[in-house]
Amino acid sequence: MSHSVVTLTGLGSVQGRHVGGACRFSAIPYAEAPVGALRWRAPRPAHWTGTLSVIDTPPIAPQWPSRLSEAMGDFDLPQSEDCLHLTVWTPAADRGRRPVLLWLHGGAWQSGAGALDWYDGTQLATLGDVVVVAPNYRLGALGWLHLPGQTANVGLLDQALALDWVRRHAAAFGGDPERITVMGQSAGAASIACLLTRETPGFERAILMSTPLGGRQRRGVRSSAQAARLGEAWLRALGAPDLDAARAAPLADVMQAQLSPIVQDALREEDSGRPQFGPVADGQVLPEAMDDALAHAATRADVLIGYTRDEMLAFPGTPPGPATRAIGDDLFGTPSHAWAQQALDGGRKAWGYRFDLAPTQRFGACHCIELPFVFGTWNAFAEAPMLRGLAPSAAAALTAQVQHDWLAFVHGGAPDWDMAPAWKALG
């Protein structure tokens, strides 16, 4: 049985629902809609008057289908540029001062959403007595386009504003703004690494899952010049002379330009293996010397970090075998070990893991396979090809172990294994 719940924030009252053992507040706007003149600008904090009813699932950021759907399955939710919302799950909207877990979703900065059922925070909130917060942020060209003289990394600025929102308003949902852990997977984890390079990150605990910090991507961050070449190719594909003209373009045209041969040619010329749009070392939002900045970033938070044994098998066209596994280790594994060691060298605590469970031969222990074990959202992942054949008893046992360890870390403790350089095999 569900019933409505109301809490008072510094912005006004928010009405959600108590269902499944937790209070859920969906579609809370943390920023104004980034449309029209606000496209490609830093997000502006949202405001409202009266009581905000946040019961329905919010729209997700405009995006094309994920390239990982063959492994994970797919989703179909309404899309809108008015997507800068977040969802809060809490055991009670009281003054409980619980630890807060902020989740940044993956998707190569091109797809995904915090609002997906895959990432429902009900189980973590109720099991761990924590407050879980999941924001959407801008994706693709709308979030990560860079042109000279314009603000770069607006998707990262979205994430930073969502974090600031949590610090300001967590107490209204029973959370402690002084005990925030930021957790991310893939692009979400790399975004956390980027946030830790900024002057005041605002958190001192991080869970980094499958962080793409190595390989040909060179830590996943383009130089300003590289990003500008890609941005200028995108402008030509759109047929816009400048960014002001692009702000007036229909959303469908903005999205279609990302698929243009002009943009694809620019990516091939770059020959970096990076996603189409992503973080940029612009010298303002992110430092120009990102290698040095990321090495220092590792010393700014205690960390639970890891990767999966067969990362690359989630991606189309990657057959099983030692060569494929080596690519995954280079992109995700080796830099994860390095980050843990840098954290230790900087006086931080660090625990490392590798997720080894492989239900199928085709996908093995692939990229994203740990997600249902972290969130316990097995109904949402019921059709995921990467999980076919997994015995429910084995799924339940490993889920209990993973959630115990992750929640222990969120509460300021330790997972059930020794710190790095020890490395835990899960599954």
Residues recognised as catalytic: 186, 311, 367
Residue 42, φ and ψ in degrees, nearest 5: -55, 140
The C-alpha angle with vertex 333 and arms to 264 and 110, in degrees rounded to 5, equals: 30
**Virtual CA dihedral for 187, 47, 57, 278, nearest 10 degrees?**
-20
Element (H, E) at 208: strand 205-209
Q: Are 4 and 15 in contact (CB under 8 A)?
A: yes
**C-beta neighbour count of 143 within 10 angstroms:** 25
Closest CA to 406 of 381, 361, 360, 372: 372
**C-beta neighbour count of 327 within 10 angstroms:** 17
Q: Can you name the residues that pair with 237 across neighbouring β-strands? A: none
Residue 378, φ and ψ in degrees, nearest 5: -70, -30
CA 348, CA 370: separation in Å to the nearest integer?
25
Q: Can you name the residues that pair with 103 across neighbouring β-strands? A: 183
Q: Are 329 and 357 in contact (CB under 8 A)?
A: no
Closest CA to 407 of 130, 174, 189: 130
Structure tokens given for 65: 């289908």
The C-alpha angle with vertex 225 and arms to 252 and 164, in degrees rounded to 5, equals: 65
